[in-house]
Amino acid sequence: MATSFNDVASRQLELSYAAPQNFFMSIEKLPQVVYTVQSLDIPTISGGETDLPNPINPGGLSVPGDTLNYGQLNATFLLDKNFRGYRTILDWLKGITSPDAYGQNTDYFKDQTNDGRKGFQRGLSDITVFAVDAANEPLVEWKFKNCFPLSLDGPQFNAALQDVEYMTSTVSFEFAYFENTTYTSGQKNNDTI
């Protein structure tokens, strides 16, 4: 079936696009802080492929794979004047790795809300990222499941800057998978994938 311009034009999405700002991140394990995200790349998803052996065509033939692979979640967020956002992730990272003392993670988990997770899963948390419009109405959300921090960049101090640039920090997370849901007029749609 040939595609005509009229067919393409009738399926064109509304010409109203999402601006690449106004993102907020909420970490279930750290409910006391909402992160104002400055930059975030929704991780790449790859489905892979499976090679089919073919003696006639040694170059091979591929078919879709049977698993999804997710990249890392990297987010750069603004630092509040008390550094709470930075410190809560630093505490989480130290709590799950115990770099300073044996049993450090036991002390960390003792102070955390018990969500029923056991063993290493106590160090995991769901993370939700919301994109909002200029009126602060949600447009879309990503819910990253079973996350844990891999790295946290410290803030950079520079007194030689001419203009005020607010400090940021970048955190990288590993996660199991994510779900995506859209909103219409601020109301969550029933379209999670």
Rg (alpha carbons) of the chain, rounded to whole number: 22
- Higher pLDDT pick, 100 / 184: 184
Residue 140 lies in a domain: yes
Residue 115 sits in a domain of what CATH number? Answer: 2.30.110
Q: CA-CA distance, 14 to 92, in Å (whole number)?
A: 42
Question: Is the pLDDT at 123 greater than 70, yes or no?
Answer: yes
pLDDT of 47-94, one tens digit each?
A: 878 777 777 766 677 778 788 889 999 999 999 999 999 999 998 998
- Higher pLDDT pick, 77 / 158: 77
Query: Predicted confidence band at 9 (pLDDT cuts at 50, 70, 90)?
Result: low
Q: What is the pTM of this model?
A: 0.78
Torsions phi, psi of 5, nearest 5? -60, -40
Torsions phi, psi of 89, nearest 5? -75, -40
CB neighbour list of residue 152: distance below 8 Å, 6 or more residues apart:
86, 89, 90, 93, 169, 170, 171, 172
Q: Can you give the residue range of the structural domain that contains 142?
A: 18-43+70-188
State residue 58's pLDDT score: 67
State residue 173's pLDDT score: 96
The number of distinct structural domains making up the chain is 1
**Mind giving me the DSSP string for 101-137?**
STTHHHHHHHTS---S--GGGGG-EEEEEEEE-TTS-
Residue 155 lies in a domain: yes
